[in-house]
Amino acid sequence: MTGFLLRYVGAPYLFLWRWIEVAVIRRLAQMNDLHLENAVDLDIGCGDGVVGGAVAKRIRLGLDMDPAALSWSRRLGVYKSLACASATALPLRAGSQRVILCNCVLEHITDDGAALAEMARVLAPGGYLILTLAGRDLPDLVLGEHANSNERAELDLSLNHRHYYTFEAIAGRLQEVNLIPVDSQTYIGPREAQWWYRLRLWQRNRPTPIGLARRRLGQMLRAPVTLGLIPFVLRPARSQSGAALALLARKPAPGPSPVEG
Identify residue 239 by its one-letter amino acid code. S
- Which residue type does 116 have? L
Cα–Cα distance measured from residue 110 to residue 115, given in angstroms and rounded to the nearest whole number: 9
Q: Does 134 have pLDDT greater than 80?
A: yes
> What does the pLDDT average to over 58-71?
95
Band the pLDDT of 16: cuts 50, 70, 90: very high
Structure-model confidence comparison of residues 77 and 99, the more confident one:
99
> 215 vs 120, which has greater pLDDT?
120
**Statement: residue 118 has pLDDT above 60:** yes
Least confident of 8-12, 64-68, 108-112, 236-240: 236-240
Helix 112-122 to helix 167-176 angle, to the nearest 10 degrees? 50
pLDDT tens track for 246-259: 999 999 988 665 55
Of 219, 196, 195, nearest in space to 206 by CA: 219
Q: What is the pLDDT of residues 165-195, one digit of tens each?
A: 999 999 999 999 999 999 999 999 999 999 9
What domains lie within the chain, and their CATH numbers? 2-250 (3.40.50.150)
What's the pLDDT at 49?
93
Distance between CA 173 and CA 131 in Å, rounded?
13
Q: Which of 4-18, 39-53, 220-234 has the lowest mean pLDDT?
A: 220-234
* Nearest to 180, CA basis, from 84, 249, 87, 78: 249
| pLDDT tens digits, 204-245 | 876 665 555 555 556 667 778 777 887 777 776 666 789 999
Distances (CA, A) of 122 to 44, 114, 207: 12, 13, 43
Helix axes 212-228, 12-31, angle to 10 degrees: 50
pLDDT, position 251: 97
